[in-house]
Amino acid sequence: MYTPSWGRTAAILRSSDRGNTWSRTELPFRLNGNWNGRGTGERLQVDPNKGSILFLGTCGDGLYKSTDAGVTWSQVPGFPVTGSTNFVLFDKSTGSAGSATGTIYVGMATTTGTALYRSTDGGTTWAGVPGGPAGLMPLQGSIAGGRLVLTYSNGNGPGGISNGAVYALTPASTTWTNITPVAPSANWNFGYSGLGVDPRNPNTIVVSTFERWGGGDDLFKSTDGGATWTGLNAISTHAAPNNPWLVAYYSGSLAGKMGHWITDVDIDPFNSNNVIYNTGYGVWESNSLGGSTVAWSFNDSGIEEAGLYSPLVSPSTGAAHLFLALGDVAGARYATDFNSIAGYYSSPNNSNYSVDAADQNASVVARTTASGNSLMISSDNGVTWKQTASSPVASNSDSGRVAVSTSGTTLLWVPGGQGAYYSSNSGASWTASSGYPVTGGVTSGNYFNPVADKAANAYFYTYDYSKGTILESANGGQTFSTIYTGLNILPSYNMQHQLASVPGTLRRDLWLATPNGLWHINGAGASPVQLPNIQAAYGVGFGMAATGQTYPAVYISAKINNVFGIYQSLDGGTTWKRINDDKHQWAGPNYVTGDMRVFGRVYVGAGRGGVYVGNLQ
């Protein structure tokens, strides 16, 4: 997903049976799924005339080619640069079925020198295409009707875009035409990115602005090849009745805006009225592109933008079975119906960093939110919320994490980079804790999570991964002291560990998941015990005990005997059963927990893509 040195090197996945099975080819460089330039493309293209030929534009290593349907790859020796590419584009008309396409374009991520290259011999030799706008890079291109249409910005974004344009190139004469709908200005900075040309009528073009924060991004449609344009925002309606967290984007404070980070637009090649575009939070679709009003629907199902910021919370009591804190879209409260839309938190267009419920009095719930870097508290099981009367968060800190004591009498708040603060009056006032370790904030990627004991009220813990110690407060967060040492000093990356307390009656029944194994502390008088055969553990949680068992079911996201999976133990960690399979790995989930009131129900926080609910037979 990332190109810096700490990212994983890339791989090509290929299937010859319509996606039923896949093979992998490892590549010697990194690619970019979530880094700057992630909205450009397409970089990976199959020759439309000869499917065994593929070209791959890299994010810093030039152009690669495969002639055996993606099994092996080599750098194209004739390509003149080894920089970052934005797209690869075949001109299908320059080839015939079974023979390699002759003309190929490659757009480069550069605003100086040559930004567009062309080969007319199938990729053997290359030359820069003269002309084009200065100081801009092409983000996307489309060939139709004998022209190459290109969207341009002065960066590949997101971030730092202040200028852009739309141009059409007639390759036969190397003639450039500026067809920009609305030009950016010194007082209105933005670029262009998304591009859709109707294959059935090449005069119909749709482009998107990119990072036009003042007034919001827009789509522009032309039916005369770019001579004139219509802004779609003014004639569009948006509806997302099944996704209430989108309300801020199609009503209220953002009414009349198309969304943000629009980087791609596509017109259905079989239906000229059908068009889709992407945003930073999902995809909108319309079947009325040719109408006087364009009606957009959010038809996404099973594709979630949401990423978890903190462990899943499934309390032992109360009406709600699950609380989530999500990046960008706040989070939600779920009762028994996980398809219900009633539980989304207010202010849905911001991140929530954590949520916790009093396990033995789940009417008390608290969550930290990026909206005002505040702490929201509920006294009715998360149905209604109010901001705490006071806050200890410094002006340069984020709202961090919160833990709620098991009876709901005490809140422990750890703002970013400030240590901990406790309150015994529902946030009316806060007092600094003594002894709580201090590191960076949530947004810096380094922090120490507060954990409430689920059995003993007013006991709190944290794991200091920089020293390999567990600290405890036995007085409602007033003071913290070290109770265990030598527990695996870890890298500073915060998502690689989790300390969790077991609901029940035993104080200090703790589990610690780390990249180097799983530990269990079975009560206040016990020492930490590392469980055998678990090479790494990324998340741990608990669910209702099996029939005949007294100890809760334990669920972990872990590598056991070098096999990654989601595992369940019904005997306190003595034996484990994998409950997912290789086709359901959800991008490497960290957070996992069971339901303390429904045996066999498990919640898995996908590495990317929301939360999955499983009901084991």
- Give the model confidence (pLDDT) of 275-330 as tens digits: 999 988 889 999 999 999 999 999 887 666 678 889 999 999 999 999 999 988 88
Strands 553-560 and 534-543: antiparallel
H/E element, 249: helix 247-250
**Considering only CA atoms, which of 545, 612, 542, 543 is closest in space to residue 338?**
612
Comparing CA positions, the residue from 115, 108, 116, 23 lying closest to residue 72 is 23
Q: For residue 6, what pLDDT is reported? A: 82
How high is the pLDDT of residue 214? 77
- The beta strands (E) that lie in 211-310 are given as 219-222, 230-231, 236-239, 265-267, 275-278, 283-286, 294-297
Domain extents for the chain?
1-130, 134-303, 322-615
Residue 449: which residues within 8 A CB-CB, separation 6 or more?
310, 354, 401, 403, 414, 462, 463, 494, 498, 499
Residue-level pLDDT at 492: 47
Looking at the DSSP bridge assignments, the partners of residue 513 are 498, 518
Rounded to 5 degrees, φ, ψ at 254 are: -115, 25
Q: Domain spanning 322-615 has what CATH number?
A: 2.130.10.10
Domains 1-130 and 134-303 share a fold: yes
In this structure, the chain runs to a length of 617
Q: Helix, strand or coil for residue 373?
A: helix
pLDDT < 70: residue spans in the chain: 244-245, 247-255, 302-305, 339-342, 443-445, 489-496
Residue 540's nearest CA partner among 480, 448, 451, 407 is 451
Residue 474 DSSP label: S
Residue 135: CB partners within 8 Å, gap ≥ 6?
Answer: 111, 112, 154, 163
DSSP tag of 479: B
| Euclidean distance between CA atoms 75 and 54, whole angstroms | 12
In this structure, the number of other CB atoms found within 10 A of the CB of residue 120 comes to: 15
The count of C-alpha atoms lying within 13 angstroms of the C-alpha of 557, restricted to the half-sphere facing its C-beta, is: 25
Copy the structure tokens of residue 455. 């059995």
Sign of the CA dihedral with 557 first, then 559, 560, and 564 last: positive
Q: Identify the pLDDT of residue 341.
A: 62
CATH number for the domain running over 1-130 = 2.130.10.10
How many Cβ atoms sit within 10 Å of the Cβ of residue 291?
11
Please state, in angstroms and as integers, the Cα–Cα distance from residue 595 to each residue in 69, 173, 186, 314, 546, following that order. Answer: 46, 67, 55, 6, 12
The label of the residue with tokens 């015994």 reads: 424
* DSSP state letter for 260: S
In the chain, count of helices (H) and strands (E)?
1, 48
Residue of 346, 505, 479, 336 whose CA lies nearest to 419: 479
pTM for this structure? 0.86
Domain 134-303 has CATH 3.20.20.70: no
Which of 301, 349, 351, 298 lies closest to 324 in space, CA to CA?
Answer: 351
Burial of 226 (0-12, 13-18, 19+ CB in 10 A): buried
- As a dihedral over the C-alpha atoms of residue 240, residue 246, residue 247, residue 253, rounded to 10 degrees, the angle is -130
